[in-house]
Amino acid sequence: MTPVVVRRIDRAEAQAVDALAEFGVSTVHEAMGRDGLMKPYMRPAWAGARVAGTAVTVLAQPGDNWMLHVAVEFCRPGDILVVGLTADNTDGMFGDLLATSLMARGVRGLVIDAGVRDVASLKEMGFPAWSRAISARGTVKATLGSVNVPVVCAGALVNPGDAVVADDDGVVVVPAGRAPAVAEAARKRAANEEDKRRRLAAGELGRDIYDMRPALEKAGLIYVDRLEDLKR
């Protein structure tokens, strides 16, 4: 691994990114064909935020947040800082000072496959962060990593400039080039769900709305009055 900082990246289209934020992680993940989801151990430091932004990526060493400081310079309004690690780590690599710096540059959030700290302050500041852990454990600034290279973060491949959507359900990555199409697919899916929601709220059965009977029958589902009846 040659430590490198890449200055220029191609970001997903802003309008598409903003549209993705409306629909949230679960809908966007479905709209992509159930792809791009980070592992469910990624949780928000505080509940209730929903953001989408373009990824500025960092590949960092465990327990070392040097490259996060380096990356700040390359962040623009609308970005989300996405940090992958070279090895599993839960140290608190990000706290309120870095958050202050990112907010000053218009960054919308942080996604890190390690720990964060100062979570009470992050909540107060309204800066959202998704991480695998909360930990006060401090870090050093000793070993180089990279900025704006492709990284694996919580099991998902993230290229610089990709759209990243995060909320209470987790984090999903949309390749930059697919962002407009996925936003459109998400819009359709959401509209379609609205109709289903109304019918389900009115008491209709999903079994009927989705017309599941033929497939269930074909698959061999048996209905009995009592479990004992099965054994006859």
Q: What is the DSSP letter of 39?
A: P
- Answer yes or no whether residue 12 interacts with its own copies by CB under 8 A: no
The nearest distance, CB 171 to its own copies, in angstroms, is 8
Q: How far apart are CA 138 and CA 161, in angstroms?
A: 29
Candidate list 14, 18, 143, 187; residue touching its own copies; CB under 8 A: 143
Binding mask 144-173 for its own copies (x = CB under 8 A): x---xxx-x--xxx---------xxxx-x-
The nearest distance, CB 167 to its own copies, in angstroms, is 7
Q: HEC states along 60-81?
A: ECCCECHHHHHHHCCCCCCEEE
Candidate list 14, 22, 43, 190; residue touching its own copies; CB under 8 A: 43
* CB closer to its own copies out of 188 and 196: 196
The nearest distance, CB 179 to its own copies, in angstroms, is 16
Could you tell me which residues come within 8 angstroms of residue 123 by beta carbon, excluding any fewer than 6 positions away? 45, 46
The nearest distance, CB 40 to its own copies, in angstroms, is 4
Q: Fill in the amino acid letter for 93.
A: M
Q: How far apart are CA 37 and CA 155, in angstroms?
A: 8
User: Which region, judged by CB under 8 A, interacts with its own copies, from 11-19, 25-33, 179-187?
Assistant: 25-33
- Kindly identify the residues of this chain, within the stretch 179-208, that bind its own copies according to CB under 8 A: 193, 196-197, 200-203, 205-207
Neighbours of 145 (CB within 10 A): 25
Q: What is the DSSP annotation of 103-152?
A: HHTT--EEEEEEEE--HHHHHHHT--EEEEEE-----B--S--EESS-EE
Q: Which residue has the tokens 């430091």?
A: 45
- Kindly identify the residues of this chain, within the stretch 67-126, that bind its own copies according to CB under 8 A: 69-70, 72-73, 86-92, 95-98, 100-101, 103-105, 115, 117-120
The nearest distance, CB 215 to its own copies, in angstroms, is 8
